Structure 1
Amino acid sequence: MEFIKPKNKKAEKVDWLISEKVREIIKNYAEYCEYTESEVVELYLEKLLDDEGFIQWVNSAKNNKGMVSKMGLEEKMEEQKLS
């Protein structure tokens, strides 16, 4: 059984500029999935953490402990050290 995780921990309003096309995609995809637009963006962007090149870059960055902690990458960093 997988337990339910809390939504929007420390959620913060951001001021990004995105194209009309992307806004329309997010709006319609959210309607299709029955999620909010914010949930769609958050779920999709978290997939960036599957990019091994990005993880390697974070791992090699100076003073990366803050980045690793804020992005919840502690486990991924341990896995990379073991491989």
Structure 2
Amino acid sequence: MKFITPKNHNAEKVDWLISERARSIVKNYAEYTEHSESEVINLFLLNLLDDADFIVWIEKKRNNRRVVKQLGIEDLVGGEKIS
């Protein structure tokens, strides 16, 4: 069971250029899931932390403590989440 977590109130507006197709996907997926487009993007991007190769890459970076703290992945070891 996943518990509901508070929304991130530290959000910042970003200025990214994305394709019309990507915007359409987000818009329609948001409608389907009954979430806002911002919530869909936020939830989707958090899934990138499930990429074991990305976590290994971070672990290999020099002075990675700042990145690990920023990403909130202190509980990840060797690319796998601790249950």
Q: What TM bracket, shorter-length normalisation?
A: 0.7 to 0.9
* Count of residues in correspondence between the two structures: 79
Structure 2 vs 1, CA of residues 49 and 2 (structure 1 numbering), >3 Å: closer, same or farther?
A: closer
Partner of 1:75: 75
Runs of 4+ in 1 over 4 A off after TM superposition: none
SS at match of 1:74: coil
Instruction: Provide structure 2 residue ranges, at least 5 long, that are not aligned to the other structure.
Output: 79-83
Q: How does 1:1-83 map to 2 (within 5 A)?
A: 3-76=3-76, 79-80=77-78
Identify, as 1 or 2, the structure richer in helix.
1
Structure 2 vs 1, CA of residues 52 and 33 (structure 1 numbering), >3 Å: closer, same or farther?
A: same
- With a CA cutoff of 8 Å and minimum separation of 6, indicate the structure with the bigger relative contact order: 2
Normalising to structure 1: TM-score of the pair? 0.87
CA RMSD of aligned residues (A): 1.6
Shift of 1:2: 5.2
Distance in 1 (alpha carbons) for counterparts of 2:74 and 2:23: 32
